[in-house]
Amino acid sequence: MKICALIPAFNEASHIEQVVEGVREHVDSVIVIDDGSSDGTAELARKAGAFCIEQPTNCGKASALRRGFTYAYTLNFTHAITMDGDGQHLPHDIPVLLQVAQETNANLVIGARPFERALMPRARYYSNTIGSRWASALVGREIRDSQSGFRIFRLETLHRTKLRSQRYEFEMEVLIKLGRAGCTIAHAPIHMVYDSGQAQSKMRPVRDTVRICLWSLAFRFLGA
């Protein structure tokens, strides 16, 4: 396994150095895709030891990731770990995902959170638990954490998968398309970070949830 970490980042100057430094010891290379930041995120990522791809304007999380996947594939990486740049995903969980990837040889390993109601904001708990059940129905197999962005991908698998997402619908697009293609999907336990003040999601709950739902139906039933 030749492994890189892909970290899409938009205005994450307060967190990106710590994230990159924590990730570097677990992978062969850290690649930050700066999605039009205006706060010096790219410079700080480089300072911490990451290679940085800069997008001149904010195009969305999925757009940044797709560019990162293409770049990583051209460098002959076999696997890519995706994680957020805001501190919500903990680097010390990476070995667990790597172990599952090695043991299962899965096309996709999802970092699955425990979904304990007492530890999660109410809206996030219900949106994630209901969303994961809905995803399981659409994909046709158990999906324990449909919106987790902490994942390991086999890059060869993604290279032959047509992806079109721009924003937060990416997680569902991959699940549906890989699931329908018969790819193997495994899960690895990860920790949650909600109460430290560092994980402030940029996702807009109502607008983005509706977008995810509509695109999920298009991916599943219209072949989008």
Calculate the alpha carbon distances from 48 to 19, 20, 32, 67, 211 in Å: 9, 6, 11, 21, 34
Mean pLDDT of the region 204-209: 70
Q: Which range is least confidently modeled, 12-21, 114-123, 132-141, 174-183?
A: 114-123
Identify the pLDDT of residue 203: 64
- Mean pLDDT over 156-176 rounds to 94
Q: What's the CATH code of the domain at 214?
A: 3.90.550.10
Domain total of the chain: 1
Higher pLDDT, 224 or 37: 37
Distances (CA, A) of 117 to 11, 122, 133: 29, 7, 16
Q: How many Cβ atoms sit within 10 Å of the Cβ of residue 4?
A: 24
Residues 92-106: tens digit of each pLDDT:
999 999 999 999 999
Please give the residue range of the domain that contains residue 99.
3-221
Tell me the three state secondary structure of residue 170. Answer: helix
Instruction: Say what the pTM is.
Output: 0.91
